[in-house]
Structure 1
């Protein structure tokens, strides 16, 4: 499994709306692609501007196979729905390793 970590800065008053729009637009769109396993939203209780999304993918190849044009179209749709009240601060990738007990 591969983890995509996205950390955003969002205006605090708009945070809940941002999370809702992300679920409606991004999560719904990504769920249609092979390899998408799910998504979590992490809220920092000490920083009301920070929102982290943890997206789980079966393989890196499936994640990276999403056409760039599709990603751009989804982002355009999201920006039209929410505006530019957010900033991507970090994009990272992690591999999940399981160990035998």
Structure 2
């Protein structure tokens, strides 16, 4: 099909987090998330490149304030390196110093699935 690509047989680990905050704070949450988490993990001194292939943010319009964060990591090894408890604690502290409103992590889907979720294929417009 012209204008689209289809790739299959991939094996990239998927991280899927679900957060909630008051609807009026979603935009601020997303801005701070991008500054602290996305760029913090992308610009880590642990790597000479960004260790994830991409990150998507989904907003649930049926549940105002609910946000889904999807990462596709290049490998479990890279993900685990960034998931170091000291690195994560520093990023959490930085995030919470900038985002002063209540929020909660409501689901950590990769943990529910024992890190078994992987991207196998993708069909996308180019």
TM-score w.r.t. the length of structure 1 is 0.89
**Which residue, 40, 44, 51 being the options, matches 2:67?**
51
> Once the two structures are superposed, what CA deviation does each residue of 1:20-78 show, in whole Å capped at 9, x if it has no partner?
11001110011124422121110011111200100110111210112221111011000
Contact 1:31 1:38 in 2 (8 A): no
**Computing the radius of gyration over CA atoms, which structure comes out larger, 1 or 2?**
2
Quote the Cα distance in structure 1 between the aligned partners of 2:62 and 2:24.
15
Aligned mate of 1:42, from 58, 61, 70: 58
SS, match of residue 31 in structure 2 = helix
List gaps (5 residues or longer) in structure 1: none
Question: Which segments of structure 1 move beyond 4 Å, counting only runs of 4 or more?
Answer: none
How many correspondences in the alignment? 99
Of residues 71, 95, 98 in structure 1, which corresponds to 2:118?
95
Match of 1:25 among 25, 36, 59: 36
| Matched position secondary structure for 1:51 | strand
SS of equivalent to 2:120 = coil
Question: Which blocks of at least 5 consecutive residues in structure 2 are unaligned?
Answer: 1-11, 111-116
Give the C-alpha shift of residue 84 in structure 1: 4.5
SS where residue 71 of structure 1 aligns?
helix
TM-score (norm 2): 0.72
- Counterpart of 1:6 (choices 17, 35, 40) is 17
